[in-house]
Amino acid sequence: WAIAKEAMSILDGHVPYCLCLGNHDMGFQKSNNKYGGDIAVNRTTHFNKYFPREKFAKTKEFGETFDPKRHDNSWYHFEASGMKFLIVSLECKPRDEVLDWANKVVAEHPEHRVIVLTHAYMGSNGKRFLRLGYKITGNAGEAIWQKLVSKHKNIFMVLCGHASGEAVLTSKGDHGNQVHQVLSDYQSMHNGGESWLRYMVFEPTENKIKVYTYNPALKKFRNQSSSRFDLEYSMDLSK
């Protein structure tokens, strides 16, 4: 956690960012299995010690958190090229009460274009998870889609990890809107992912989101069709 804090601090004051918790960031319990223990047995975490809510609450992009004392579920907002964006970051296997909170946040910001972040949402086969293991109770990908994502016409993207690989699933929400669901996870590649990351370029004049996969350590791109692609998305401000 201390190493992660130091690494992320490079961005502080320069690049706005928010964080999204995964199963490995949650409660650990020793056991006799081959891993020496079980993860995500509860929702305790060192996250709030090293990335406290009060630190992020000082940024202009900060909106609010589900729990006034914890940073596990949060929302942020910003404006770019005349468009208002809202980022909703949800815990791994979000509880029903968290999804209820997220529904209210999105509904209260109808003029914002919404991106949902959550950890375990879909697999590399491009299908939303129907269920997940771990002792914590909560919702897997399909339930998150049904209870939150599909309900709002201003949600246009879901970003997730957990399952090793890359995948894109584009589904139609209840209001006829397209929702791009994007999996980006490189942990199973050489050296634990070897610095591979995703970045997206929004091109309003083309109504496209251009997705790139880049390695800053190796200074190279991945150019496979699953790594470099465009997503259609209307950014026409007149609509």
| pLDDT score for 32 | 78
236 by Cβ neighbours in 10 Å (0-12 / 13-18 / 19+) ranks as exposed
Considering the chain, what percentage of its residues have pLDDT values greater than 90?
Answer: 81
Q: Is pLDDT of 29 > 80?
A: no
Percent with pLDDT over 70 in the chain: 97
Q: State the pairing for strand pair 178-185/220-222.
A: unpaired
pTM: 0.94
In the chain, what are the domains? 2-185 (3.60.21.10), 186-239 (no CATH)
User: Which DSSP category does 55 fall into?
Assistant: H
The pair of three-digit structure tokens given for residue 93, joined into one six-digit string: 């296997």
Of 38-42, 124-128, 233-237, where does the model show the most confidence?
Answer: 124-128
Neighbours of 76 (CB within 10 A): 21
pLDDT in tens, 189-237: 888 788 999 999 999 999 999 999 999 999 999 999 999 999 999 998 8
| Residue 239 clears pLDDT 70, i.e. is over it | no
Residue 115 — φ and ψ, nearest 5°?
Answer: -115, 130
Phi, psi of 99 (to 5 degrees): -65, -35
Mean pLDDT rounded to a whole number for the chain: 93
